[in-house]
Chain A
Amino acid sequence: MRILRNISFGQYIPRDSLIHNLDPRIKILSCLAIIVSLFLITKYSGYLILGSFVLFSIIISKVHPKFVFRGLRPILFIIIFTLIIHIFMTEGKVIYQLGFLKITQEGLVKGLLISFRLFILILATSLLTLATSPISLTDGIERLLAIFKFIGVPAHEIAMMMTIALRFIPTLLEETEKIMKAQISRGADFESGNIFNRAKNLIPILIPLFVNAFRRADELAIAMEAKCYRGGEGRTHYRELKIKKADILTFAFTIIVTVMASIMF
């Protein structure tokens, strides 16, 4: 039950900061720029620049770093795993040897670079979701996707699906916890047994969860129709997105930093 409480994905932390007030499109594009440059960087110095840029953004966002770093927890295993694989599996100059295991210099360098890459990637994307409300995030995605409408990308529908999915993540988590507790009270056991038994033990959670989710989806569809929802055509927005001066400056600054990090160093 504890596990469910620790999921920080999609959790928005409202604050009044430069990062929060940016246009969501700018935030998404800046995040993309950072991700792209992460895969172009080949040297430590580039990571140092990009890393400090992301840390600087975290500080001015006024979101407690604890929340941002919590996003790392689920992938910590992957980071450590790739680090170990790289350290031991790369051929090159041996700097330490223990039996058949040997650590090479190249491996160490490569492993650390990959870890930094994953590290910064998660920090940047966590900050994006922590400092942008789900509504404005999907708003931003819708507007950005609208560019590709001419090749048939259903921008509005995708955004609507995302909004609904994000909206129901906490609800479903809460419900999972409730059903789990209820089944435990009925004698179910989720903590012992081998992996097959544990998987089988999930049935009393999954079936009620699906039944309720379908029922809820049905009700939501009816409620939307009752409010005359009929897709994105001709739909106006309550909040119009407008690019402000701060947005342009931030975006320009991000581009300069990412280009500098990936090309110059």
Chain B
Amino acid sequence: MFIHIENICFTYSLGMPFETEVLKDINLEIDKGEFIGLIGHTGCGKTTLIQHFNGLLNPTSGKIYVEGVDLNKKGVNLKLIRQKIGLVFQYPENQLFEETIYQEVAFGPKKLGLSEEKIEKRVREALKMVDLDYNLYVERSPFSLSGGEMRRVALASILSIRPKMLILDEPTANLDPQGRDNILSEIKKIHYNFGMTVILVSHNMEKVAETVKRLLVMHRGEIIMDGTPQEIFEKHANDLMKVGLGLPQVTECMHKLKAKGKEVYTGVLTVDDAEKEVLKKMKKPLKR
């Protein structure tokens, strides 16, 4: 078990008139190699929750274990934890500050005290993981890039620490459809090719649902659903609507077909799957 969370609660500005309870009694277990989508409305506590994973925030009560280490125990080396869990913040391009992309990506490894050769190796490796050509990019300024490229550089600057787990907060926000698809396919590659544990945080069902293998749905500081996307979309469609999250368009379409009396499986996530499912249920197969 990689991360183990026991009954954590978190309250902002504890003891002040503006105090707000953001996380309410969260229990969670994450294994190595999982691919998780964390979904919920803006302000439901997603970002607060993930900041607990690498010790940026301490829970008001409850315990968090990363590889068996209790994060709140005195004397825990949080730096070591932060090497294991790479947290990519929302709009990571806003943290870029170095003169060249090489230095930007090398920032983390340098802080680890690695030798020049090892740093260069890691920079090459990280840039390759996000599909940026080493020779074309290293000398350029990160501020001369497009939004999507900047985000990939920011992602590479986390990957160069070689984390065991990658958490991405709204990695596709504010990108055009192509940039969004690129980032998602890179994340998929990182998960499948390098076996990295990934948590994808988003408020958008579309795309994320078809990417991940396990879906956590948060609502008002609680995890209200936990399962495969198929399960959740098949069984809990109504509850999802109730908390205002909605379904991916194809899935909604299948639910409507079912409501009209067509016995289709509603746990589909992509247009292709929906097509297959509909064709299967049609009496006369269409000729294409």
Seen from chain A, the residues whose Cβ lies within 8 Å of a Cβ on chain B are 1, 5, 64, 178-179, 181-189, 203-204, 207-208, 211-212
Q: Is B251 close to A, CB under 8 A?
A: no
Q: Which A residues are CB-close (under 8 A) to B79?
A: 187, 189
Closest A-B pairs by Cβ, 8 of them: A207-B97, A187-B111, A187-B108, A185-B87, A182-B89, A182-B95, A181-B56, A186-B108
Q: Which A residues are CB-close (under 8 A) to B107?
A: 186-188, 204
Q: How far is the CA of A64 from the CA of B18 in the complex (A)?
A: 13
| B55: nearest chain-A partner, CB-CB | A184
Q: Which B residues are CB-close (under 8 A) to A64?
A: 17
Further contacts, 12 of them, CB under 8 A, given A179-B94, A187-B112, A211-B94 = A5-B13, A183-B95, A185-B56, A185-B89, A187-B79, A187-B82, A187-B161, A188-B111, A189-B111, A204-B107, A208-B96, A211-B143
Secondary structure at chain A's binding surface: helix, strand, loop or mixed?
helix
Q: Is B208 close to A, CB under 8 A?
A: no
Which of B13, B82, B96, B112 interacts with A185 by CB under 8 Å? B82
Please report the total number of B residues contacting A with Cβ < 8 Å.
26
Min C-beta distance of A203 to chain B, whole Å: 7
Q: Which B residues are CB-close (under 8 A) to A203?
A: 97
Q: Which A residues are CB-close (under 8 A) to B89?
A: 178, 181-182, 185
Q: How far is the CA of A207 from the CA of B143 in the complex (A)?
A: 11
Q: Is B54 close to A, CB under 8 A?
A: yes
Q: Which B residues are CB-close (under 8 A) to A182?
A: 87, 89, 92, 94-95
Q: Which B residues are CB-close (under 8 A) to A181?
A: 51, 56, 89
Q: How far is the CA of A255 from the CA of B273 in the complex (A)?
A: 80
Q: Which B residues are CB-close (under 8 A) to A185?
A: 54, 56, 82, 86-89, 158
A208 touching B95 by the CB < 8 A rule? yes
Q: How far is the CA of A187 from the CA of B110 in the complex (A)?
A: 9
Q: Which A residues are CB-close (under 8 A) to B87?
A: 182, 185
